[in-house]
């Protein structure tokens, strides 16, 4: 029995933050029932039978709201509490003089509305609030006699009623405010706990990412050395092999090992891009582009491709050389690889200029081009638009990531059958 002295035990609803509005409804219903009991005693002593009948009706309505709420019919309970309960208080306020201050009860009801309706029930919250304000307005506009002069004030002690209503209104108002404060504290606690958890998870994720990255980097590095030995051995073996068929097998093995070696190189480039910081050095772009053209000119397919360069730069640029080299290498090798077979005039153009502190490098070709539906996807990891050529689908992914690391921008313009132009914009500041 003593446990019911604690307001916390007035409801059997689960004590969770989501159920808070429903728990409040039960608590306020009990407070309203207790207030009704005080009113019944007061009206029985100082007022008349009509007031007592009204007090009992209000008591029954709030008891019903409590029972409905405890039986999980929360919305029905809320509507009974606010709709019928406030309606009866309105009638009560209408038949007694203004001096009894019954209308004061409307103010705590307005604050209760904010506590018993959840955020998802906002529409009901403001609907009920409008209803309460309307009732109060009707009272005010009709000089607190909307039903006419019913003359039920006989024997009434205006003063005691005034103080009883004032005390009830103040108590409920303070109780509501206190609970709003409590909810805020609780929400803040939940928010802080969620934030802490998120931070911890983020840290775990970062660590897992770093470990994975480290593993990929080490594994790729460890694979590189034996692959180079295999390539060396194949080269030596090719001199000794006399049999044509066996030689053919070795040529094929060499090709596959070279592809694997290129793939591992790309994986290392991706890993290095995430692991290392941007380090700017002075670069002679003209020289760098010459090197790249030369590196790519050993490929069989590049034999007929004419590569033109147009460098409008007189001074060196301050840039991360290894990254720029990888980017340009990928773009130029793609421009060669995706040329049209038997094109009469296969051509690649590399332009570079500095404009408004932005280094602009354009690599364009008159190759097979990229159809529009692939434009967004070709920069994704492992995405390959053209299956007829060899490739891993990592080249442009690496380009995109490195350009992002350099805080630059990439632009693609391409049409099937006409060619492709990729523009790099890298800020120099």
Binding ligand ADP by CB under 6 A: which of 384, 405, 413, 423? 384
Structural tokens at position 172: 């409920």
Q: Are 254 and 233 in contact (CB under 8 A)?
A: no
Question: What is the closest distance, in whole angstroms, from the C-beta atom of residue 353 to ligand ADP in the complex?
Answer: 21
Give the footprint of ligand ADP on residues 290-319 (CB under 6 A): none
For residue 273, state whether it binds ligand ADP (rule: CB under 6 A): no
Q: What is the DSSP string of 213-269?
A: HHHHHHHHHHHHHHHHHHHHHHHHHHHH---HHHHHHHHHHHHHHHHHHHHHHHHHH
Question: What is the closest distance, in whole angstroms, from the C-beta atom of residue 229 to ligand ADP in the complex?
Answer: 26
Q: Kindly report the backbone phi and psi dihedral angles of residue 403, in degrees, each rounded to the nearest multiple of 5, phi listed first.
A: -65, -40
**Which of 136/324 has CB closer to ligand ADP?**
324
Q: Which residues contact 417 (CB under 8 A, 6 or more apart)?
A: 340, 368, 369
Sole window of 24-32, 195-203, 220-228, 393-401 interacting with ligand ADP (rule: CB under 6 A) = 393-401
Structural tokens at position 322: 């290894």
Binding ligand ADP by CB under 6 A: which of 396, 402, 410, 426? 396
Q: Which residues contact 241 (CB under 8 A, 6 or more apart)?
A: 247, 250
- Residue 303: DSSP 8-state: T
**Which of 112/363 has CB closer to ligand ADP?**
363
Give the footprint of ligand ADP on residues 322-361 (CB under 6 A): 330, 334-335, 338
**Which of 11/420 has CB closer to ligand ADP?**
420
Binding ligand ADP by CB under 6 A: which of 100, 397, 403, 426? 397
**Which of 103/338 has CB closer to ligand ADP?**
338
For residue 55, state whether it binds ligand ADP (rule: CB under 6 A): no
User: Whats the size of the chain, residue-wise?
Assistant: 429
Binding ligand ADP by CB under 6 A: which of 108, 346, 367, 408? 367
Structural tokens at position 342: 């038997």
For CA atoms 109, 111, 115, 117, the dihedral sign is positive
Pair type for strands 347-355 and 358-365: antiparallel
Sole window of 7-15, 139-147, 182-190, 390-398 interacting with ligand ADP (rule: CB under 6 A) = 390-398
Residues lying near ligand ADP in the complex (CB under 6 A): 330, 334-335, 338, 365, 367-370, 378, 383-386, 391-397, 420
């Amino acid at each position: 029995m003593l446990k019911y002295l604690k307001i916390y035990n007035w409801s059997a609803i689960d004590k969770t933050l989501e159920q808070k509005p429903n728990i409040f409804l039960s608590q306020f219903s009990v407070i309203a029932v207790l207030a009704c009991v005080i009113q019944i005693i007061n009206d029985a002593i100082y007022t008349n039978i009509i007031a007592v009948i009204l007090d009992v009706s209000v008591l029954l309505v709030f008891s019903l709201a409590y029972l409905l709420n405890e039986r999980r019919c929360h919305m029905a309970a809320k509507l009974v509490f606010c709709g019928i309960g406030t309606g009866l208080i309105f009638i009560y306020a209408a038949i007694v003089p203004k001096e009894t201050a019954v209308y004061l009860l409307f103010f705590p009801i307005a604050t209760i509305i904010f506590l018993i309706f959840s955020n998802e029930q906002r529409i009901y919250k403001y609907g009920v609030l409008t209803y309460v304000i309307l009732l109060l307005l009707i009272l005010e506009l009709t000089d607190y006699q909307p039903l006419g002069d019913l003359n039920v004030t006989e024997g009434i002690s205006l003063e005691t009623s005034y103080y009883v209503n004032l005390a009830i209104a103040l108590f409920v108002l303070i109780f509501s405010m206190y609970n709003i404060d409590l909810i805020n504290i609780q929400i803040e606690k939940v928010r802080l706990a969620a934030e802490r958890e998120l931070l911890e998870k983020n840290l775990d994720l970062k660590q897992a990412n770093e470990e994975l990255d480290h593993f990929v980097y080490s594994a790729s590095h460890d694979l590189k050395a034996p692959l180079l030995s295999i390539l060396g051995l194949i080269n030596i073996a090719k001199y000794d092999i006399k049999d044509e068929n066996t030689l053919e097998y070795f040529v094929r093995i060499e090709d596959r090992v070279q592809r694997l070696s290129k793939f591992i190189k790309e994986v290392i480039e991706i890993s290095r891009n995430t692991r290392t910081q941007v380090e700017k050095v002075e670069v002679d772009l003209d020289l760098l582009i010459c090197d790249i053209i030369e590196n790519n000119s050993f490929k069989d397919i590049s034999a007929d491709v004419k590569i033109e360069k147009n460098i409008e730069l007189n001074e060196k640029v301050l840039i991360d050389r290894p990254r720029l080299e990888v980017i340009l290498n990928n773009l130029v090798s793609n421009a060669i690889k995706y040329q049209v077979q038997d094109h009469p005039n296969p051509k690649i153009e590399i332009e570079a200029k500095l404009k408004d502190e932005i280094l602009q490098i354009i690599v364009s070709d008159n190759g097979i081009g990229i159809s529009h539906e692939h434009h967004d996807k070709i920069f994704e990891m492992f995405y390959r638009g053209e299956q007829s050529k060899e490739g891993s689908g990592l080249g442009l992914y690496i380009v995109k990531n490195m350009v992002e690391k350099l805080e630059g921008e990439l632009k693609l313009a391409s049409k099937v059958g006409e060619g492709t132009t990729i523009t790099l914009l890298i800020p120099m500041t």
